[in-house]
Amino acid sequence: MQNEKATTLMDRRQFFPRQVVEAGANRWDWALLPLVLGLLVLLAYGAAQMARPFELGDPLPLSLDPSHLPYYLLRTNLRMLAAMVLALLFSAVFAVLAAKVRAAEKVLVPMLDILQSIPILGFLSITVTGFIALFPGNLLGVECAAIFAIFTSQAWNMAFSLYQSLRTVPSELDEAARVFQLSNWQRFWRLELPFAMPGLLWNMMMSMSGGWFFVVASEAISVSNQNIKLPGVGSYIAMAIEARDLGAIGWAILGMLAGILIYDQLLFRPLVAWADKFRFEDSGTDTAPDSWMLTWLRRTALTRRIAAWTVDRLEHSLVWFRRHHDGTSIRARPRIPGTAWTRVWDAVVAAAVMVALYQLIRFVHSEVGWHEAGHVLLLGCLTLVRVMVLIALAALVWVPVGIWIGMNPRWSGRLQAVAQFLAAFPANLLFPVAVVLIVRWKLNPDIWLSPLMIFGTQWYLLFNVIAGASNIPAELRHAARNLGLSGWLKWRRYLLPAVFPSFVTGAITASGGSWNASIVAEYVSWGDTTLQAHGLGSYIAEMTAKGDFPRIALGIGVMCIFVMSLNHFVWRRLYRLAEDRMHL
């Protein structure tokens, strides 16, 4: 009887493909299915709403009713996710070219300094018209402009973090890659990207928070007397500020907190827990980060099959792009670039710089005048003083805190979402407090508006220091403990040198972010009340509101000059010093 039942079961299985018969789903797959289907439905609905018909000048229906906040949160999250994917692709291409090609590094690194110094309003004033013309009669053009604006607040930090990691690969790992004759493709996937993964993830979280910080400017677009408010949390905040509605601002804070928690639990915390295996140390940490979402995914049969298929495809690519010669071949010898080609490339770069300077001088002489240029330079000096003082104060506070969090993984996991929320908190939401206090106590806006500049950018320092401290090898920690290092000697000989490269990376991005944040921090509005501090940021904000493109270009150009000079004479020298210490 049992044999007959088995024969009948085998006969039934013959009607199904082998993959269907063997691909049995477990209970974790069925539990995950509603979440996946719900996310797909939300993505499809949000994408359809982002591509609806639209003509410039048509008002978009927006309301301060809190019941609309979930829909606004969906639209904002879709924009930030799209911008994050683009920023990852840009960072990978930029970091590899800048770290591997010396000629490209001479152009790309200064270009990154320029790009991160251009304020988000500058990108919007230049790109909005082009994106609208690219998609006529459709809202997708304005959506692309908003996504690009958010991208500009995320990409530069991630790109420089990955570039710094590729340049500071430990010498023993570099030697091992040469011994095993890894090709450039194999080296990137086997060594460089895994080594850079912990720091890159922390900077991804910082970049996502930076996108939240500038979400008001990216969704509530005001260029050339044209006001376009896209449905989103940023436009909701802008409307609440205009209406002086404190209740709506409170709801916006709750909505923003919900969005940050969603990203933290569903994306960043699983990635941080997964990337813990890439730490550069011989022994694991005492407390490894964990994630309920990652545990859930690992228990599902379908996710394991997808992961195995992805790893299999990647391993096949490692075979396809392997080296076809061994270390004894002539082709294995390092190629020294020709002196002639290097000089030609340097001459081309110098000529391009000279042409740019000539065009800048011509523009100033014909469009704005030298008196206006001198006035803008003076405003740039005032903003420079604010940036340097605030970066120094932020370093004194957050470097010790970041080291403590990074060296205590248990607290690192608990404070991760809190740090993301604080980093994402837009300075616009502090406008009511700042305006009321300054007006009531008759304070000087030039001094008391300055903290708004560092409020959103000080977290670059904190996140990078946390990433650097969490990557300190366990054997170095044990050695410091066995030697009995304590007090100032411990900080000077062990802790500060260990996080110095990460601190410099954070200082560079924090500096650029502070210049960008000066746009919203030096020109503050709360209802009908406007406070303005003397500085380059308020100048650009005022000219952008008026639609004066020549003066917008002048302000952006002067800001680029200040940022590049600061990076070259201060941060870049510190970065080279940090790089040399990593290769000792």
Q: Which residues contact 253 (CB under 8 A, 6 or more apart)?
A: 425, 429
346, pLDDT greater than 70: yes
φ, ψ (nearest 5 deg) of residue 226: -110, 125
Q: Into how many domains does the chain fold?
A: 2
d(CA 181, CA 194): 18
Note whether 394 and 512 are same-domain residues.
Answer: yes
DSSP states of 436-455 as a string?
Answer: HHHHHHT--HHHHTTHHHHH
Q: For 144-168, b where at least 16 C-beta lie within 10 A, e where not — what string?
A: bbbbbbbbbbbbbbbbbbbbbbbbb
End-to-end CA distance of the chain: 76
Instruction: Using the predicted structure, report yes or no on whether residue 461 has a pLDDT greater than 90.
Output: no
Same structural domain, 181 and 82 = yes
The candidate with the shortest Cα–Cα distance to 380, out of 546, 190, 564, is 564
Confidence of residue 416 (pLDDT cuts 50, 70, 90): low
Domain end, chosen from 280, 298, 315, is at: 280
Under a CB-based contact definition with an 8 Å cutoff, are residues 544 and 523 in contact?
no
Q: Is residue 59 part of a domain?
A: yes
How many CB atoms sit inside 10 A of residue 42's CB? Answer: 14
Report the alpha-carbon distance of residue 286 to residue 214 in Å, rounded.
Answer: 37
**Burial of 340 (C-beta count, 10 Å sphere; 0-12/13-18/19+):** exposed
User: Global pTM?
Assistant: 0.77
User: Predicted confidence band at 224 (pLDDT cuts at 50, 70, 90)?
Assistant: low
**Nearest Cα to 187, choosing from 199, 175, 198?**
175
pLDDT at 15 over 80: no
Quick one: pLDDT band at residue 579, thresholds 50, 70, 90?
Answer: low
Flag whether 82 is in a domain: yes
* Predicted confidence (pLDDT) per residue in 393-405, tens digit: 999 999 999 898 8
Q: Which residue has the higher pLDDT, 326 or 182?
A: 182
Report CA Rg, the chain: 26
Average pLDDT over residues 372-379: 92
Residue 550, domain extent: 367-583
Residue with structure tokens 């001479």? 106
Same domain, 52 and 190: yes
Asked if the structure places residue 237 within a domain, the reply is: yes
Task: Tokens 């206090």: give the residue.
Answer: 437
Is 315 contained in some domain? no
Tokens representing residue 299 in the block: 């228990």
Window from 56-60, 122-126, 176-180, 508-512 with minimum mean pLDDT: 122-126
Mean pLDDT of 261-269: 84
Looking at the structure, do residues 146 and 257 belong to the same domain, yes or no? yes
Q: Answer yes or no: are the C-beta atoms of 564 and 152 closer than 8 Å.
A: no
Q: What is the pLDDT of residues 184-195, one digit of tens each?
A: 888 888 888 888
| 8 A C-beta contact, residue 112 and residue 158 | no
In a domain, residue 350? The reply is no
Q: Is residue 74's pLDDT more than 80?
A: yes
383 within some domain:
yes
Q: Which of 257, 280, 303 is the last residue of a domain?
A: 280
214: CATH: 1.10.3720.10
Percent share of the chain, pLDDT over 90: 9
Instruction: Tell me: pLDDT of 4 over 60.
Output: no
Neighbours of 478 (CB within 10 A): 11
Regarding whether 165 and 70 lie in a shared domain, the answer is yes
Span of 420-434, 465-479, 531-545 with lowest mean pLDDT: 420-434
Q: What are phi and psi of 426, to 5 degrees?
A: -65, 140
Q: How confident is the model over 324-337, as pLDDT tens digits?
A: 656 555 555 666 66
Position 378 pLDDT exceeds 90: yes
Residue 356 parent element (H or E)? helix 339-363
Between 225 and 211, name the one with better pLDDT.
211
Q: Per the domain annotation, does 317 fall within a domain?
A: no
514 touches 454 (CB < 8 A)? yes
Supply the pLDDT for residue 578: 62
Query: Per mean pLDDT, which range of 167-171, 258-262, 317-321 is the poorest?
Result: 317-321
One domain for residues 401 and 550: yes
Check whether residue 262 and residue 371 sit in a common domain: no
Same domain, 559 and 452: yes
β-strand 220-223 against 226-229: which pairing, if any?
Answer: antiparallel
Please check whether residues 252 and 376 belong to one and the same domain. no
pLDDT category of residue 14 using cuts at 50, 70 and 90: very low
Q: What is the mean pLDDT of residues 351-370?
A: 83
Of the residues 228, 248, 280, the one at which a domain ends: 280
542 and 420 share a domain? yes
Co-location of 534 and 393 in the same domain: yes
Asked if pLDDT for residue 376 goes beyond 80, the answer is yes
Residue 303 covered by a domain: no
